[in-house]
Amino acid sequence: RDCSNSTKTSSASEHTFEVGELEKSLDPPVRGDLMVLPQEETMDHISIPIRDVTTTRDFYDAVLAPLGWQRSGFREDVYVGYKKPGSPALYFPSSNATSPVHLAFKASTTEEVAQFYHAALDTGGQDNGPPGPRPAYGKNYYAAFVYDPDGHNIEAVMGGVG
């Protein structure tokens, strides 16, 4: 679609574009004839290959709930997905080949960090650093680290870099 006729709102944090009927059914919300796209949201989704979709679903259902994420889709042996308002969608597609990645999820409180950590250990995660301050990473950095069932290093962090 050609957006060369797009118009910018007076707000520095939004762009508006004229949209047709198809776009009116999409998220983000549409106002009248304009679809409002927050400028800060520069990423749409992240895909992390995993071996077992059901195991990954059970693990991430538990560890992401305290951080405000909800499962957005699941197809057995195909993928599981999660969403949180203001964050890119997160998809875990089934794959024969995986490579470890690091994911850091924002937490609002130290209690959320602890809930994330304990939920991970209770659902098959392996400890990679209990909840606590990480002064080497930053003055107000508080985090917990675990390995998920595929060996991905996942973290819940309060006061991170993002």
Q: Where does the pLDDT of residue 160 fall: very low under 50, low under 70, confident under 90, or very high at 90 and above?
A: confident
- The string of pLDDT tens digits covering residues 49-63 is 999 999 999 999 999
- Please state, in angstroms and rounded to a whole number, the distance separating the CA atoms of residues 28 and 36: 7
Q: What angle do CA 7, 1, 31 make, to 5 degrees?
A: 45
Report pLDDT digits (tens) over 109-155: 999 999 999 999 999 999 999 999 999 999 999 999 999 999 999 99
Buried b / exposed e along 105-137 (16+ C-beta atoms within 10 A): bbbeebebbbbbbbbbbebebeeeeebeebeee
Q: What pLDDT is stored for residue 149 in this prediction?
A: 96
Total Cβ atoms within 10 A of residue 59:
25
Q: Is the pTM of this model over 0.75?
A: no
* Cβ–Cβ < 8 Å for 58, 65: no
pLDDT in tens, 54-87: 999 999 999 999 999 999 999 999 999 999 999 9
